[in-house]
Amino acid sequence: MPELRLSQAPAHVRHGSNIGQPLTRRDGILKVTGTARFAADNHLPGMLYAVIATSSIARGRVTFLDVEAAKHHPGIVDVMTPAHKPPLAVDPEAKTNPFAFRLDLLHSDRVRYANQPIAVVIAESLEAATQGAKLLAPRYEAEPARVGLDANESYVPPSVGLFNQAEVQHGDANAALAAAPMRIEATYETPAQYHNAMEPHGVVAAWDGDTLSLDMPTQGLVMTRARIAELFGIAPEHIHIRSPFLGGGFGSKGIAVGPQILGIMAARLVGRPVKLVLGREQMYGPVGHRSATRQTMRIGADRDGTLTAIAHHAKISTSTFDDFYEPAADASHPLYASPAIATSHEAVRLDIGTPLFMRAPGEATGSIVLESVLDEAAWACRMDPLAFRIKNYAEVEPMSGRPFSSKRLRECYAQGAQRFGWSQRPLAPRQMRDDAGLLVGWGMGTAIFPALMFEAQARAVLRSDGTGVVESGTHDMGQGAWTAFAQIAADSLGLDLEQIEFKAGTSDLPDAGIAGGSAHTATAGSAIQDAGAAVIAKLADLATRDQHSPLFGAGNAGVIARGGRLFRRDDETRSESYADILRRAGVNELEARGKGAIDPAAQANYAMYAHGAVFAEVKVDPELGQIRATRMVGAFAVGRIINPKLVRSQLFGGMIWGQSFALNEEAITDRRSGRIINANLAEYHIPVHADVGALDVITVDEHDPHVNALGIKGVGEIGVVGSAGAVANAVWHATGVRVRRFPIRIDDVLEG
């Protein structure tokens, strides 16, 4: 792969802190020039191409595959089927750990969802493999597909999300609702949504005996390596994964998925390197999605608008063969003060691929409903929606009573409202029009996302020439992580950016954990910071013990690392370069390792969240019903910001996704066949540039000493959470029509 070079740092920060500077992405030139090498860009000598044949039914069994017809096509090398495949060391249905989701690896003729892999054709060219897959002409014994939230019996799941309780109660919500002077009850539906990252899932696999080399996109290098090692019965150390660039992930690349494992199996079957990349339509089924939901919320309040009860129930879908439950109702836990809060979930098994983590899982689906019903309650009380939220501002976490590690949501409300011009908003709907006669509406939503952190490791080295190397198996999905990590690395070693070599993206580097839950910068960044501090401590020990060093005896006072030199903290006129310290000690390299780890005491004592407020304007044609989001302002308090330019980009992306949630995005399933009928980027609608109006982001200064050593909270997902509700509420304010099914359609607002 091409060497990654850091962008030149602006002169005014070259010898100051790199953290907090809006530096350009270090991989930007590689990407815009097409020289960044993604997994599918790799072409190995003797490589074959594999194409998956997928089911056209959602339930039943495959009764026939015309393997002979496929094999007789020129260029076909082999066809992998349930009857002809390499063995695995463990059952792909086994749940050996909570992240070992059940995989479809041709282990039976059963079909459990549309687009399930049923065979793999391996050929000398992609064209031959594609044609071979068509020639298989499968025949089926089909059974009626169970489609929709009412298609099967429901049950209470054992847990939701990451081991959260399916039912939680604080206070007596039913009694509080019965006594409340003002009550709102509303049911909302959100559709299934599918991961549509620019880069589809794929793998380039090459075996050498029991040694396996892989090019594949993954959000968790070491976890993915462990799962593959388990499936094939080899040592993890015998697997080398390269994943320097990901063209988006959104949660779908957090674990190894079935199609990637099939590519590895195909390479073992034929004894040659194999490339397998999913077609766009094949992304709809085997690699996860966001569950459809039906959510009922009941809210009680006093006449002055004080909340007395929140009851949030979510019905969610999962597959017939595995367990992933979208924690939608949990969105009502942390945000608004109420003496009684109850959340509950029920699930239904359908003939679909297993839902998985998708950007802001639970928070996105639950928040759009919570924020919409909060708006309904505000209107019932004839209160401004912002005033209603401030009236019910939670000073401590409502469910637990724990103090927040930091919370500047009030400032987000104030700064966002001022920038947007919220004070000019009329209370009643259908009161504003623009010069063209379009209805104008203003809505808002509150954003919240947990400040998560996992465990990670990093290695830092100072070299005798005064430069440094920092290594961690981090992942960059396009958010600019490598740039932010390089900034942390440079500061931790007290060096300029151009003096740092940052290594990432391969499985032989220290484990950086998983890039998920908006926690990657906090997780891997803390490990990088710790490794840098540890190696500087070793360097300081060398200098302060050396009688020939101007820093001799400074142990008690301490030293400061800056610009490739150590300075006495009590007398900065006395300093020495790293190179001189190492040279005199006769040391070529000084190495240390660092860890990023959760602080259990802080986790137990504080509620840790990022917060924000999003304000949206929409315009609606009163005759045609066309809706356009014309303006959005988001204000976010997200802890310490490593790179403002990258953070701004992430928050913009989240706000656009929120707009998409409210107005565009849904998978449409044929109820007869169980097939998704808009499984492409032409008919699965997401906003393009022409759909997105003016965007503005404010980052509110926030210092949090408890979340982690760097004070980072993460920004990847919070932008989605308040934005969808803000757009939906703006549509109501424009039209007076409260739409309780998403995405909002033209006919929904015309019905009013």
Q: pLDDT tens-digit profile of 262-317?
A: 999 999 999 999 999 999 999 999 999 999 999 999 999 999 999 999 999 999 99
The pLDDT of residue 16: 63
The pLDDT of residue 3: 35
683 to 41, 252, 639, 667: CA distances (angstroms): 27, 21, 38, 9
Please name the helix (run of DSSP H) or strand (run of DSSP E) that holds residue 654, with its range, or none. Answer: helix 644-663
For the chain, what is the radius of gyration of the CA atoms? 27
What number is the average pLDDT over the span 475-486? 93
Cis peptide before 743 (omega within 30 of 0): yes
The pLDDT of residue 155: 98
Give the pLDDT band (50/70/90) at residue 501: very high
Query: Measuring CA to CA, which residue among 497, 484, 682, 521 is closest to residue 596?
Result: 521
CA 28, CA 483: separation in Å to the nearest integer? 10
Sequence length of the chain is: 752
Coil vs helix vs strand at 121: strand
Supply φ then ψ for residue 65, to 5 degrees.
-130, 130
First to last CA, the chain: 57
Residue with tokens 């080399």: 213
Coil vs helix vs strand at 526: helix
Supply φ then ψ for residue 70, to 5 degrees.
-65, -45
Is pLDDT of 386 > 50?
A: yes
**Buried b / exposed e across 253-283, counting CB within 10 Å, b at 16+?**
bbbbbbbbbbbbbbbbbbebbbbbbbeebbb
The pLDDT of residue 597: 86
Dihedral over Cα of 403, 407, 413, 414: its sign? positive
CA 177, CA 164: separation in Å to the nearest integer? 25
CA 527, CA 524: separation in Å to the nearest integer? 5
Token readout for 606 is 């504080």
The pLDDT of residue 537: 95
Is pLDDT of 708 > 60?
A: yes
Coil vs helix vs strand at 733: helix
DSSP 330: G
CA 399, CA 563: separation in Å to the nearest integer? 47
* Domains annotated on the chain, with CATH: 11-36+456-597 (3.30.365.10), 402-453+598-752 (3.30.365.10)
CA 229, CA 695: separation in Å to the nearest integer? 45
Coil vs helix vs strand at 419: helix
The pLDDT of residue 150: 97
Longest dimension (CA), the chain: 85
Active site residues: 717
8 A C-beta contact, residue 273 and residue 538: no
Coil vs helix vs strand at 355: coil
Is pLDDT of 4 > 80?
A: no
Give the pLDDT band (50/70/90) at residue 1: very low
Is pLDDT of 736 > 90?
A: yes
Is pLDDT of 140 > 90?
A: yes
Question: Which residues contact residue 421 at a Cβ distance below 8 angstroms, ignoring those fewer than 6 apart?
Answer: none
The pLDDT of residue 9: 34
476: amino acid identity, one letter: D
8 A C-beta contact, residue 121 and residue 53: yes
CA 111, CA 675: separation in Å to the nearest integer? 12
What number is the average pLDDT over the span 129-138? 98
Is pLDDT of 254 > 80?
A: yes
Is pLDDT of 371 > 60?
A: yes
Is pLDDT of 7 > 80?
A: no
Question: Out of 8-22, 84-98, 490-504, 565-579, which region has the weakest mean confidence (pLDDT)?
Answer: 8-22
Question: Which residues contact residue 321 at a Cβ distance below 8 angstroms, ignoring those fewer than 6 apart?
Answer: 93, 102, 112, 354
What number is the average pLDDT over the span 13-23? 76
Q: What is the mean pLDDT of the chain?
A: 95
Question: Which residues contact residue 714 at a Cβ distance below 8 angstroms, ignoring those fewer than 6 apart?
Answer: 449, 451, 452, 517, 518, 519, 520, 521, 522, 610, 638, 639
What number is the average pLDDT over the span 388-404? 97
8 A C-beta contact, residue 471 and residue 485: no
8 A C-beta contact, residue 616 and residue 730: yes
Is pLDDT of 10 > 50?
A: no
Residues of the chain with pLDDT > 70, as a percent, come to 97
Supply φ then ψ for residue 10, to 5 degrees.
-55, 150
Question: Which residues contact residue 693 at a Cβ distance below 8 angstroms, ignoring those fewer than 6 apart?
Answer: 617, 628, 629, 630, 631, 632
